[in-house]
Structure 1
């Protein structure tokens, strides 16, 4: 038996050594400008061949991306409420670990109430939720009605942008996200709108409506209608939904190209087609999966998975007014 197993052992050892000789690691820690750990920051690296790898920072701010093919990488790190970090030309050598620590600075708000990192940290922490089965409509479908905490990423996916889209994302990061649409009182779009503030879902047999603080409302038609030739709401598109068992599948088209898809500044075109899958697995939890199909900006469809919890019944969606006298934007510091 030993003689029979010996060649297999040699083969396994050779494969292990070979793997170590073609792979490396990038690891480090992410802190804010005061040196405090930044948990749940999104870390993304991409090599010259276009391969992408992602991780989230731990509670202590650490991250590790292992088994990376040898090559040269670009890293981007983002966390809500803090300026993004990016660095090019990171060389990953065989069997070696590259140490890369990042310090994320505050935005020029200088920690104003409602804009500081504490505000964002509280948004994305887990919430206590009620228990029990998901409520149902008189027709038997899951009822998504209620006030929900902001959606958070469960799996941000791996976008494969075309060269122009990748370059634009790099420019936006290098410019400290200075041109973020919401800085100019423009709508954030259907991916970003539910990501920062609570939102309310109202549902009946023919319509599901979503209300946001400071954003355009959405209407998802459940009455079997088709998309019109021209959308009357290009910032959020035209949405129609149908049931697939207990999953509501929402098809949205008719966008403009003025919104951003995430905090890394990923763009889209006016040909973007979004499919959402809403699931309420129980009373307190909501899952939404986004599939972004935009051949003008991405090589393949981009799938993003998000989730959230039901807010307290006493919570409300408040009024949020983007001031018409915002004099700060022209003075924001880019690069």
Structure 2
């Protein structure tokens, strides 16, 4: 199946397993905040953006309603919340990591073949990951998208992702910090010690996936916790991923001071 062309409805099984091929997208506000939240003003400049930049309300997607941070994690969480635009990797067009890539407000495509690894391709920043259909291993290095291992448990695709860590990250004005994976625009996060276990279960009818992800990271959480949501199949005849290469949109944020200095010379 060529990238960009997908069936409108679920087809026959592949090697006896559900066929997850297609373009999928969430219909929720999890990328703004995984926890329940009210609508709010834009954190940067209402005078410039008005209601266009406002934060939409959300019921939340977390079992139990909140993320169980430990005391040690609160300081960094507070720093994120004070800098929700300038520190968010999404604003800088960095790769989103897992599970955030799944519920960003852009479609993504699953490409599943016969008895082979599974590819997931995301419209945002041309991100992608290979789900290695094998036993969970030890990733050689940390990366923005981590390393994913998949297995079928009955008709459910279970994906375990490890080694989610961007390393040093450049913030606006040139500051370098040890990066972590942000989970939403509210500053919730996980570290490179996290294990993320996702479950993709194709629902009856084939046009939505029951999705859940359990996150365990004993360095910042008191216990594992789980999010869940449906992923909806894009059923229009021309459903496809369009180009959203966001690097040019982030240059002023990251390098605006340097660009302005060069223009003054």
Which of 66, 83, 86 is 1:175 aligned to?
83
Q: Using CA pairs below 8 Å that are at least 6 residues apart, which structure has the higher relative contact order?
A: 2
Summarize deviations over 1:118-151 as a string: whole Å, max 9, x none. Answer: xxxxxxxxxxxx7x8x544332111110011236
Q: Does 1:161 align with 2:84?
A: no
Q: Does 1:314 align with 2:238?
A: yes
Task: Trace 1:133-212 onto structure 2 (pairs within 5 A).
Answer: 134-150=10-26, 152=28, 153=30, 155-157=61-63, 158-194=66-102, 195-204=104-113, 205-212=115-122
Q: Aligned-pair distance for 1:264?
A: 2.1
Distance 1:173 1:141, change over 3 A: same
Moved over 6 A (4+): none
Q: Aligned-pair distance for 1:313?
A: 3.4
What is residue 36 of structure 2 aligned with on the other side? none
Summarize deviations over 1:196-240 as a string: whole Å, max 9, x none. Answer: 101111002221111111142011112x25424414x61111111
TM-score, length of structure 2 as denominator length: 0.67
What is residue 137 of structure 2 aligned with on the other side? 227
What is residue 255 of structure 1 aligned with on the other side? 164
Summarize deviations over 1:245-281 as a string: whole Å, max 9, x none. Answer: 1111111112215320123211222111010010111
Judge conservation of contact 1:249–1:278 (CA < 8 Å) in 2.
yes
Superposition CA RMSD, Å: 2.4
Equivalent-residue separation in structure 1 for 2:137 and 2:126 (angstroms):
22
Q: Does 1:242 align with 2:151?
A: yes
Equivalent-residue separation in structure 1 for 2:13 and 2:132 (angstroms):
16
Question: Secondary structure of the equivalent of 1:172?
Answer: helix
Equivalent-residue separation in structure 2 for 1:328 and 1:236 (angstroms):
23
Equivalent-residue separation in structure 1 for 2:73 and 2:140 (angstroms):
25
Gaps of 5+ in 2: 1-7, 31-59, 166-178, 258-265
Task: Trace 1:69-84 onto structure 2 (pairs within 5 A).
Answer: none
What is residue 264 of structure 1 aligned with on the other side? 186
Higher strand share: 1
| Larger-Rg structure | 1
TM-score, length of structure 1 as denominator length: 0.54
Question: Secondary structure of the equivalent of 1:182?
Answer: coil
Distance 1:139 1:215, change over 3 A: same
Q: How many residues align?
A: 199
Equivalent-residue separation in structure 2 for 1:176 and 1:240 (angstroms):
31
Q: Aligned-pair distance for 1:241?
A: 1.0
Equivalent-residue separation in structure 1 for 2:231 and 2:132 (angstroms):
23
Q: Does 1:328 align with 2:238?
A: no
Equivalent-residue separation in structure 2 for 1:136 and 1:230 (angstroms):
36
Q: Decide which moves more: 185-194 or 288-297.
A: 185-194
Q: Aligned-pair distance for 1:162?
A: 1.6
Equivalent-residue separation in structure 2 for 1:243 and 1:147 (angstroms):
20
